[in-house]
Amino acid sequence: MKPVAWPDLFRQLPSVDELLRSPQLAPLIAGEGRFAVTEAARALLDRLREQITSGELDALGVQLVVSGIHRAVEYELQRSYSPSLQRVINATGVVLHTNLGRAPLATEALDHVREVAASYSNLEFDLAKGERGKRDTHTNKLFQRLFASVQRDLATIVVNNNAAAVLLALNALAEGGEVIVSRGELVEIGGSFRIPDVMSKSGATLREVGTTNRTRVADYEQAITERTKLILRVHRSNFAIVGFTEQPSLEELVALGRKHGIPVMEDLGSGALMDLRTVGIENETDVLASLRAGVDVVTYSGDKLLGGPQAGLLTGAPELIARIRSNSLFRALRVDKMFYAALESTLLLYLRGQHDRIPAIRMMSATAEQIAARAQALVARLREMENSAEIEVRPGESVVGGGAAPEAKLPTALIALRTKAASADTLAARLRAHRPAVIARVEDGSLVLDLRTVEAEDEAHVVSALIHALA
């Protein structure tokens, strides 16, 4: 067929009016209404015109589309009514992938959300006394049990995320005063959370001390004035400073704070509730360690290493937490029943020692051997149906992600594919177009999948997505 200029191809498309008058669309209009069908027809025709202009659709393509145009309108309409937010299969091996929603929730948490959110609940109602209660009591009690070994009174409140927790705490504890922070800790966490900016929004003044690589206790002490309201330690969640470095221990900071009557707060970010060495992650501190060191307030995320819903948690001395709680920002940043339900169930799993029921923890715990066995089995299934691609299983590394444990590398087994028929980027795009979408990595011209972050029951979807992508 000789090339046809695109104005000519445009003329082969029916108009919206023609489509709406066609008897084939009458049942759809009767069922879904004229307005919805008009919108769908218009969206479809707009897209076809774009595809013609960009050269994606040639004369033959236009003929094909036009012959099935009524079905295409119906399909477009269905698509317009399906949610945009959808589940995806994370084959990147990044356990806490912020763009992919960080921690998947435990089944127990989901069941509890469903039960509580589908009905009324005792969110702020004391069932024993029959009077108004507080929403934080549900999780506060559980945190107290989890931190019982610290042997001091502690209270915990929940807000929307850790960024909110830091903003709220700074405003409640240091508005109008100064907060001392090491220059090595003025971090930016993705999505425009920068310590200096949050500080100025909170109404507190940042007092930087030390240098990027070295800060001593004496630097903090020299900066203390009558305006000092808080000493802040910020966890270097997403980077590491190596080489000629120095940073006072938390205990030293706490001792300094006590000496001058100034509270010490730590923005821990990732906030693990367990010793991560048990899952092979070294050098990552956890909430208990921070509380044991005597830190007055710790803030951390619910959906990083904790493996629960998005939330910001503030744990610390009851009088400080009470001050934070009575700040009017708390009301603006509070969370709803679904967060509490998901968080409570996740905390119960910790209390019962059932860490392997928390997906993020289970995924981090998987060994390279276990992942290699799954990868080999998946590759064997793939080879039964597909033999044009070069496929291998090779050792590699998964990362924790989500601004947690930047240096931790978890040994894994990667499935690497390449084919002459399509580039790795094209294959990755085809996997994303599959439903459920599969998100893979592209490395050195290969498509790379890491099963660490793929649930076993999703492997069949991965196989079918790969077969379609390679076809």
Ligand X SMILES: *Cc1c(COP(=O)(O)O)cnc(C)c1O
159-188 binders of ligand X (CB under 6 A) = 161-163, 166
Nearer residue to ligand X within complex by CB, 162 or 419: 162
Closest CA to 24 of 42, 37, 36: 37
The residues facing 446 across adjacent strands are 443
Instruction: Verify binding: residue 237, ligand X, rule CB under 6 A.
Output: yes
Region from 234-242, 321-329, 354-362, 454-462 binding ligand X, contact rule CB under 6 A: 234-242
Question: CB under 8 Å to 72, separation ≥6 — which residues?
Answer: 44, 65
Which listed residue (69, 199, 209, 234) binds ligand X by CB under 6 A? 234
Instruction: Verify binding: residue 285, ligand X, rule CB under 6 A.
Output: no
Buried b (16+ CB within 10 A) or exposed e, 354-391: ebebbbbbbbbbbebeebbebbeebbeebeeebeebeb
Write out the DSSP string of 351-410: HTT-GGGSHHHHHHH--HHHHHHHHHHHHHHHHHH--SSEEEEEEEEEE--TTS-TT-EE
Do residues 406 and 239 touch, judged by C-beta distance below 8 A?
yes
Do residues 395 and 367 touch, judged by C-beta distance below 8 A?
no
Instruction: Verify binding: residue 346, ligand X, rule CB under 6 A.
Output: no
Instruction: Verify binding: residue 235, ligand X, rule CB under 6 A.
Output: yes
Instruction: Verify binding: residue 97, ligand X, rule CB under 6 A.
Output: no
- Burial level of 327, CB count in 10 A (0-12/13-18/19+)? middle
Strand pairing category for 297-301 and 264-269: parallel
Region from 27-35, 128-136, 157-165, 456-464 binding ligand X, contact rule CB under 6 A: 157-165
Instruction: Verify binding: residue 189, ligand X, rule CB under 6 A.
Output: yes
- # residues near ligand X by CB under 6 A: 15
299-328 binders of ligand X (CB under 6 A) = 301, 312
396-435 binders of ligand X (CB under 6 A) = 403
Region from 15-23, 89-97, 266-274, 373-381 binding ligand X, contact rule CB under 6 A: 266-274
Give the residue at shortest CB distance from ligand X: 269
Pattern 193-232, ligand X, x by CB under 6 A: x---------------------------------------
> In angstroms, what is the minimal distance from the CB of 270 to ligand X?
6
User: Which residues form the interface with ligand X (CB under 6 A)?
Assistant: 161-163, 166, 189, 193, 234-235, 237, 267, 269-270, 301, 312, 403
